[in-house]
């Protein structure tokens, strides 16, 4: 049986196809690269399909930490993390959704936005894997 990975999605005008045929010359890094590319695609789209006000989440993120030019200071990170965990932020999230599970989802989205702004990467970027492959394989 032929080995391969195939990802196909179509929803409205959004269509994506990502695939790789795997043979004895395919490296594990190439497989990881495709899987990561699928993950990036899905993560970018998933928020659009959730029933939450992304603009409102961005507003809350702006109140916690607005991205600035230059290096992020340790105090910025500390302050942002304190604000993320604060009851005031939780109350703001309550305005977006009332359900316990919804609040957990919105909180994760907010955490990811703020951490990214702080320069704390929580996900691999396919571009980084590409650069790694260029230099190491």
Together in a domain, 109 and 69: yes
Residue 14 lies in a domain: yes
Provide the residue range defining the domain that includes 67: 54-118
Domain endpoint, select from 30, 49, 68: 49
How many domains does the chain divide into? 2
Together in a domain, 63 and 107: yes
Q: What is the pLDDT of residues 109-123, one digit of tens each?
A: 999 999 999 999 989
Look at residues 114, 112, 130, 49 and name the one whose alpha carbon lies nearest to residue 76: 114
Residue 123 lies in a domain: no
- Give pLDDT, residue 22: 97
Together in a domain, 59 and 103: yes
Residue 21 lies in a domain: yes
Residue 137 lies in a domain: no
Residue 132 lies in a domain: no
Together in a domain, 77 and 95: yes
Q: What is the pLDDT of residues 30-83, one digit of tens each?
A: 999 999 999 999 998 999 999 999 999 999 999 999 888 889 999 999 999 999
Q: What is the pTM of this model?
A: 0.85
């Amino acid at each position: 049986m032929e080995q391969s990975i195939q990802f196909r999605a179509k929803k409205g005008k959004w269509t994506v196809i990502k695939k790789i045929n795997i043979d004895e010359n395919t490296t594990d890094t190439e497989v990881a690269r495709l899987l990561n590319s699928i993950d990036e695609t899905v993560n970018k789209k998933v928020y659009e399909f959730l029933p939450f006000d992304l603009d409102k989440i961005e507003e809350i993120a702006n109140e916690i930490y607005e991205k600035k030019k230059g290096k992020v200071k340790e105090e910025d990170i500390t302050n942002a993390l304190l604000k993320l965990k604060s009851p005031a932020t939780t109350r703001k999230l309550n305005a977006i959704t009332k359900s316990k599970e919804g609040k957990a989802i919105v909180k994760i989205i907010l955490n990811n936005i703020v951490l990214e702004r702080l320069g704390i990467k929580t996900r691999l970027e396919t571009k980084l894997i590409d650069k790694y492959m260029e230099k190491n394989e």
